[in-house]
Amino acid sequence: MTRFALTIEFDGTPFMGLQRQPHGPSVQQSIEDAMRAVTGEEAALFSAGRTDTGVHALAMRSHVDIEKAIEPFRLMEALNAHLRPDPIAVLACEVVGEDWHARFSCTGRRYVYKIANRRAPLTLEKNRLWQVAPPLDAEAMHRAAQALVGRHDFTTFRSAHCQAKDPVKTLDRLDVELAKKEWGDEIHIHAQARSFLHHQVRSMVGCLKLVGQGTWSEKQIGEALEARDRHALGLNAPPHGLYFVEAIY
């Protein structure tokens, strides 16, 4: 039995999420189906994180155990051939030790949320950014975001369906950057932590958007955090602007 580590890129638009779902297509199902076609085996895919419907990944790390003798490059090429036309690509494939686990060996996860701050409709990047028409103050958003960095009870920013046992998480980074574009700016929110609660990044982004447009004051972010109450949440950002960027080991 050989354990292969995969680095996967995908467009989450047509999927119910990364994890296999009983009620719709998933990234995991597509990869496991491709794995079966290549190896003839029922191999399970384990990943560093989960993603919601419509969330994308630039470099998700996953692993799979296979009995068939096959070189990593050949496995990667064969999987990509069988994954077509699904918007999933295996970017890298390598052999790892049996003690390496895509999820449990991971010590950090990094996401970026992208906002298109313009009035004109999105065409080329539809379903890949959250379009917000009113001008946003990225500097105010960044200042407000720093109240969330560190170890806190993130109940306010947690989905009601979150299955995590503990709402306390340590947020290592939450930076808001303005990316100047010729036709409308983009705002990128970078988040990093060992692990996140369900909807945590999207909930933080939604409230920061309220700060950026002046609906909330900067101090209201800290007040929402201290409330430890989902009803104190101002807004949950849509999924399609969110990208899983990196799993850290």
The residues, ordered by sequence, that sit 6+ positions from 180 with a Cβ below 8 Å of its Cβ are none
User: 229 is written with which tokens?
Assistant: 């109450």
For residues 131 and 122, what is the distance between their CA atoms, to the nearest angstrom? 7
Q: Helix, strand or coil for residue 124?
A: coil
Q: Helix, strand or coil for residue 232?
A: helix
Nearest to 155 by CA among 226, 237, 218, 236: 226
Q: Which residue of the set 52, 65, 166, 229 is catalytic? A: 52
The yes-or-no answer on residue 153 being catalytic is: no
Nearest to 158 by CA among 144, 169, 145, 142: 169
Helix (H) or strand (E) holding 170: strand 168-179
Q: Helix, strand or coil for residue 185?
A: strand
- In the chain the first and final C-alpha atoms are separated, in Å, by 23
Name 63's bridge partners. Answer: 5, 46
Active centre residues (catalytic): 52
